[in-house]
Structure 1
Amino acid sequence: MSYRDIASRQTLAWAAVSVGARMPVAMAPLALVFLVRERDGGYTLGAMLAAAYVIGEIAGAPFLGMRMRAERARPQLAAGLAAGAVGFGALGALPGAPAAVLAVCAFVAGAAPAAAPGGLRALLNGMVPERAVAQAMSAESILVFMIWAAAPATVAGLALGVAPGLPLLLAAVLMALSVPGLWTLPAGWKADESDREGESMLRIMARAWPVYVTGAAGLSLLALAELILPALLEQREISVGMSGPLLAGLAVGSAAGSFVYGLRTWPGRLRRQSLVCMLGVCGCLAVVAVLPTAPWLAVVLVCAGFLQAGAMLTRHLTLREVLPPSALAAGYSVMYAAVGAGYAASGSLAGALLSVTTPSTAILAGVALTVVLTLVGTLAEVRPAPAPAPAPAPAPDVPAPSNSVARPS
């Protein structure tokens, strides 16, 4: 299969809707900081609002995702995106509101549309032939990395050049425009609820926990790179302004890795591919901790991004193997929450370590923790599932005596 096999008007419409739904997510944390930075304690308040937004995402994704139904996903996605647009609009229109009001709006903006990425991914899976799913997921990954590369410059330009609230108002408009765009896509995707065999959605999600652990580990590496890199550059006596181009190189490497992954079928099972890519990213970041010059840092970060794309894609494809079709949107949403939690936890760990040790040591400690999480998740995946209990033998057919009393079954 090639990328030509997934190109169609419908997938282009899906891409447009995805940009409207996901660009606000990529803009939100930095936009919230710029929104209040000129107030008293602005940066602290901005960090608090960004935390409220991320907590909303982490809480909303599994809660709403597990309630999404395959055949009628459209109204659920539309309601979430519309509520998210209201949350973003309120933030942009009321920059001087009390901190508590802004925190509630940030939580709503994060929580309400949090199931949209999982739902849109499930829609895309249903729109392409089964044999082209890997190419579709790779194309989606390229789109996401392009969005995340464009978002910081968009936010900074609008907030500093025009008005602090404008990035959030733009986010509201984009998310609102994605709602009518849903009607250009299928109403849902085909999935027979009987494929769950009577299991509750919560039990099905719990069954895939090793995939979520390795997914969270993968994003924790991105947090390490983003949050510790400026301090590491300062330690190496390199201009902190180089952090922007270096992180852009990381994003470009990820986009290139996504494209290459979709070009062919790769040897080995998905969990083995994931393990190789994750260990490769860990190795790259360990090297970053000791490299002395910016050009070598750029090369290694591009390589890290390239491998990280493979790690992320194999995790999403593994979910398709371990979950029934009717639970895929929920699985993607739980993964979204898991990687968000991994990013937040790694960011907190990075902040704590930087207060007691050097940036290079902090990176190495984070890499060591990521390796442990990766091995735990991988070993849990290869553990054989318990064999089902044998069905009881049917009772012999014994005719009832003529004076027996029939009992209700």
Structure 2
Amino acid sequence: MTARYVELWRVPGAPLLLTGGVVARLGQGVTVLAWILLVRETTGSFVDASLVAAATSLATAAAAPVGGRLADRFGAARVLPWYGAAYAAAQLSLLAATLTGQPLVLLCALAALSGALFPATSPALRAAWTVLTADGTGRERIRTAAMAAESTLFELVFIVGPLLLSAAMLVAGPLAGLTGARPGVAGPAAAIVLAAACAAGGTAILARGQAMRRLEPQGHAPTRGLGPLRAPRMPALLLCAAGVAFSFGASPVAVAAFATTHDGDQAQAVTGVLIAIWSLGSAAAGLWYGARNWDTALSRQLTVLLAGLAVGYAAWAAMPNSIALGAVLLVTGAVIAPAMTVQANLMARIAPASMLTEAYTWLTTVNLTMAAAGSAVAGVIVDGPTGAIGGFVLCAVAAALATVIAAWPGVLAPRSVATPVPPDPARVP
């Protein structure tokens, strides 16, 4: 299993992509939760906290393709450091405004600014892996391993990030006693500063690597209008991603509702453990998937994986308690990283070479927008008579719709056309 990843590690520029990518994105696993805790602590309102978090996410979704297009036009190595530094500055400005009790409208405006400046690190990383494993490089066979490693490390960010926040909260307790600050403020604030430093420093380090410097403009005319959205099969791939992202946004809400029903006062802790178990299952399966050769067409692989995701969500609804749900989460999480890997591989084949980074940013836009929608809809459903079970069914339906799109003939793969058989001359009258 390790041979494929050893080969990947030896690719010039790969070690920096793997390690630097984790550092640059470490804050993504902590910032949303840290901002919710901090704004809630300073304003006393979860509504205010949710508005600030939503402003950040929606602005990132709206502006991500702009950053991707700039990276394609001027080179990711030039664009990413500026975005990383500007994003960090905006985050620190928002932190200062929050700690000094500024009005909510200013907090939302600064949150939107920081979201719009969020660096397109993940899209640029995927574009770099696509270039490093392009046809003709002799590394085509390790593209799946590269994309699987990328998906797995991204999962790792969302496992390590909350742990860092917990560590910051623990350290902030004694320090807050000495300085007079509230632990509920000092912990999240420290995590936000760390996340901003990682974004600025990590993107600057990534930009210095030879792999990122290869993402240079290829002499094509500047991209205009819809750009990569005009590529055949791109809308279908984004629709598949939308269904999956909707389910990903809804699932934590449904899991939290399930824990509230079954675990009472321990619901928050149990929810965190259940989500971590789901992520661990995904990370382990992603590594396993990337270490193997797959002859099946990518569109068929995606169909099977999304069908497995839909079945998994449906199985959650039948679980009697959180222990049973945790066991099923570990198993059903195994389709996530492989599905994201296949999705990235499809994007590498569908997107024009001169628009790779922007193409991957459209996945960011779809994922953030639909995850927010899924979370909002699930919140309404779990508060209703069906509770958590209704939320799980909602997730299953969203994944099933994505499966139908992936399986539809000619949508993600060209239709197979029968080759006409020439008549047998001996039988021609």
Residues 155-164 or 47-56, more deviating: 155-164
Does the C-alpha gap of structure 1 residues 21 and 378 become closer, same or farther in structure 2, counting only changes over 3 Å? farther
Amino acid at match of 1:222: F
Instruction: State yes or no: 1:183 paired with 2:208.
Output: yes
- Counterpart in the other structure of 1:142: 152
Does the C-alpha gap of structure 1 residues 78 and 382 become closer, same or farther in structure 2, counting only changes over 3 Å? closer
C-alpha root-mean-square deviation of aligned residues, in Å? Answer: 2.5
Deviations 1:301-320 (CA, angstroms, capped at 9, x unpaired): 11221111111111110011
> 1:381 aligns to what SS in structure 2?
coil
Find the partner of 2:196 among 153, 156, 172: 172
Amino acid at match of 1:101: L
- 1:199 is displaced (CA, Å) by 8.0
- 1:10 is displaced (CA, Å) by 2.6
Find the partner of 2:39 among 28, 36, 39: 36
8 Å contact 1:204–1:323 — kept in the other structure? Answer: yes
Find the partner of 1:204 among 206, 225, 228: 228
Instruction: State yes or no: 1:334 paired with 2:334.
Output: no
Segments of 4+ in structure 1 off by > 6 A? none
Instruction: State yes or no: 1:269 paired with 2:297.
Output: yes
Does the C-alpha gap of structure 1 residues 76 and 199 become closer, same or farther in structure 2, counting only changes over 3 Å? closer
Matches within 5 A, 1:2-401: 2-8=4-10, 10-69=13-72, 72-94=75-97, 95-96=99-100, 97-128=102-133, 129-159=139-169, 161-162=171-172, 163=186, 164-181=188-205, 182-185=207-210, 186-189=212-215, 192-194=218-220, 200=224, 202-207=226-231, 208-237=234-263, 239-240=266-267, 241-357=269-385, 358-379=387-408, 381-382=411-412
- Counterpart in the other structure of 1:392: none
Deviations 1:250-292 (CA, angstroms, capped at 9, x unpaired): 1111111110111112242111111111111111111111210
8 Å contact 2:16–2:209 — kept in the other structure? Answer: yes
> 1:67 aligns to what SS in structure 2?
helix
8 Å contact 1:52–1:107 — kept in the other structure? Answer: yes
- 1:40 is displaced (CA, Å) by 3.5
Does the C-alpha gap of structure 1 residues 165 and 199 become closer, same or farther in structure 2, counting only changes over 3 Å? closer
> 1:139 aligns to what SS in structure 2?
helix
Does the C-alpha gap of structure 1 residues 82 and 75 become closer, same or farther in structure 2, counting only changes over 3 Å? same
Amino acid at match of 1:225: S
- 1:36 is displaced (CA, Å) by 1.6
> 2:75 aligns to what SS in structure 1?
helix
8 Å contact 2:148–2:338 — kept in the other structure? Answer: no
- Whole-angstrom distance in 2 between the partners of 1:98 and 1:21: 31
Residues 3-12 or 287-296, more deviating: 3-12
8 Å contact 2:250–2:376 — kept in the other structure? Answer: no
- Whole-angstrom distance in 2 between the partners of 1:204 and 1:268: 26
Deviations 1:180-223 (CA, angstroms, capped at 9, x unpaired): 312133423267455x9x98561532430111111122222222
* TM-score, normalised with respect to structure 2: 0.83
Residues 303-312 or 122-131, more deviating: 122-131
Residues 136-145 or 96-105, more deviating: 96-105
- Counterpart in the other structure of 1:406: none
Structure 2: gaps of 5 or more residues: 134-138, 173-185, 418-429
* TM-score, normalised with respect to structure 1: 0.86
Does the C-alpha gap of structure 1 residues 16 and 86 become closer, same or farther in structure 2, counting only changes over 3 Å? farther
